[in-house]
Structure 1
Amino acid sequence: MAYQIKVTLRGITPPVWRRLRVPGSITFEQLHRVIQASFGWLNYHLYRFDFEGIVLMDEGPDDTAAELWKDKTKHLDPNQTLISSLFEEYDECLYEYDLGDSWKHDIVVEKRLKENKRNSVPVCLAGARHRPPEDVGGVDGYEDFLASIRDKNNPEREEKLRWAEKDTGGRLFDPEYFYLDEVNRKLEHVLKDTPEFAQRLLAEEDGLTGTLRIGWFGPVIEIPGEAFTWDRLGDLVSMLDDNQPITIKVGKQSRLKH
């Protein structure tokens, strides 16, 4: 089984949303990573999925789902629970990211599909708008942020735009920005790129050894059967512990053929 779902960030107008097709064989932890990649969240806060009476939660070092949601009747492990086990029964649920800013996303199951090769990899089918900056202060903080950057006479405008570059890869923050191909390039590797994979690739033995080429989207390091863009490498490095030594070796640079 596979699912077409629509994920909409609650409380923002016009809405920020993504329509995704995901295989039913992934866990809720993997679905969390798919949603993170499709919205461009940076994945450094806790999250939870909330069905009626059921919570699946990423637990921090000092918290448990049972302590935070004592009124819920059942707690499931997002690392062990397949999405099909609940999406076959439920048509909607809540996904909350960052329990401080409380970014609540409404998930609606729009279609249940047969799982086949085409549906075995997560894909973004459509979407609209850029998500708010991390740590902006929730919906109210985002509204204040937008008011500041839209006012060219606001003395804090330039500072806030520079601060938001952490969320845009250096681009000027634009709440209307959405590029479908960019999202799907991230989703191609989202299930493979885990902290364990980053450790094996970058921090063990000879590290990443390949050929540096220049492609349409900038530098690419190629190894047999795989290519790593600068953005992808940045995401992998961010999964490692602070001060973790890494090794990247590249051969002669050449232009990528198309």
Structure 2
Amino acid sequence: MAFIFKIKIVGSAKPPIWRKVKVNDFISFENFHEIIQVLFGWSNSHLYMFSPGGWGTTPEITMDEEEFGFDDEFEEDVDSSDFPDGEKFKANEIGLNDYFSTPKQKIVYIYDFGDDWRHSIELIEVTEEYIDYPVCLGAKGDNLMENSGGIHGYYQLMEAINNPEHPEHDDYADMLAFISDDDHKSYQFDLKETNEILKEMR
């Protein structure tokens, strides 16, 4: 079977930023994470987790830290006690169909524990057929700038950039001046290009 999900950036508005995607029901949550990274133009360079309601809710479905290549310095900087305790599963060991079965079920995907990019994921349809690769069926809103402080930090940045009288306008303008034209283009969501990338994720 295949699942159709609607994934929305929590806190986004005017417009709300969302993607609709179709994936096979048996893929792992690790694969699903990789698909979400493509859908929103993220760089896959931060920690992530899935849980029913975000922080403090269980079960938690988390990344395999060894595969991410954390070093000793990272382990010293991050205290596992900073994160909620509870039932946990590795994302590469649990499939979507272990959690989802019927429409309207939801889960939250958190990417970058510092910036706290939260994505609300809802299963909206279950179909009988399998597909050869993930497909983005629709979208609204462009990709967002990573490392900008999460959704609220991003909106504050945009407010300052778009208002020459804003006290932080010059500082943000200087920061953005280092971003290349190619980087700017990468924030513009392109459905065709996105599906071309997803097609390689067989």
Q: Mapping of 1:51-90 within 5 angstroms?
A: 51=52, 53-60=58-65, 61=70, 62=75, 68-70=83-85, 72=86, 74-88=87-101
CA distance in 2, matches of 1:122, 1:173: 20
* TM-score normalised by the chain length of structure 1: 0.64
CA distance in 2, matches of 1:127, 1:155: 32
Q: Mapping of 1:1-258 within 5 angstroms?
A: 1-13=1-13, 14-51=15-52, 53-60=58-65, 61=70, 62=75, 68-70=83-85, 72=86, 74-88=87-101, 91-116=105-130, 119-152=131-164, 154-165=169-180, 169-171=182-184, 177-191=188-202
In structure 2, the CA distance between the partners of 1:111 and 1:17, relative to structure 1 (3 Å rule), is: same
In structure 2, the CA distance between the partners of 1:64 and 1:75, relative to structure 1 (3 Å rule), is: farther
Matching residue's letter, 1:138: G
In structure 2, the CA distance between the partners of 1:83 and 1:172, relative to structure 1 (3 Å rule), is: closer
CA distance in 2, matches of 1:40, 1:156: 25
CA distance in 1, matches of 2:4, 2:124: 5
In 1, are the aligned partners of 2:143 and 2:189 still within 8 Å (CA)? Answer: no
Aligned CA-pair RMSD: 2.5
In 1, are the aligned partners of 2:40 and 2:144 still within 8 Å (CA)? Answer: no
CA distance in 2, matches of 1:123, 1:173: 19
Shift of 1:133: 1.1
- Secondary structure at the aligned position of 1:20 is classed as strand
The one-character-per-residue Cα deviations of 1:14-48 (angstroms, maximum 9, x if unpaired) are 21110000011210000000000011000000000
CA distance in 1, matches of 2:12, 2:19: 14
Range moving further from structure 2, 39-48 or 143-152: 143-152
Percent of aligned positions that are identical: 27
Shift of 1:158: 3.5
- Structure 1 spans left out of the alignment, 5+ residues: 192-258
CA distance in 2, matches of 1:64, 1:58: 16
Larger-Rg structure: 1
In structure 2, the CA distance between the partners of 1:12 and 1:144, relative to structure 1 (3 Å rule), is: same
The one-character-per-residue Cα deviations of 1:148-202 (angstroms, maximum 9, x if unpaired) are 221356323542433454xx7333686xx322111111111135xxxxxxxxxxx
CA distance in 2, matches of 1:183, 1:114: 24
CA distance in 2, matches of 1:156, 1:21: 41
* TM-score normalised by the chain length of structure 2: 0.80
CA distance in 1, matches of 2:144, 2:124: 25
Range moving further from structure 2, 44-53 or 57-66: 57-66
Larger proportion of strand:
1
- Secondary structure at the aligned position of 1:190 is classed as coil
CA distance in 1, matches of 2:160, 2:175: 8
- Count of matched residue pairs: 183
In structure 2, the CA distance between the partners of 1:159 and 1:173, relative to structure 1 (3 Å rule), is: farther
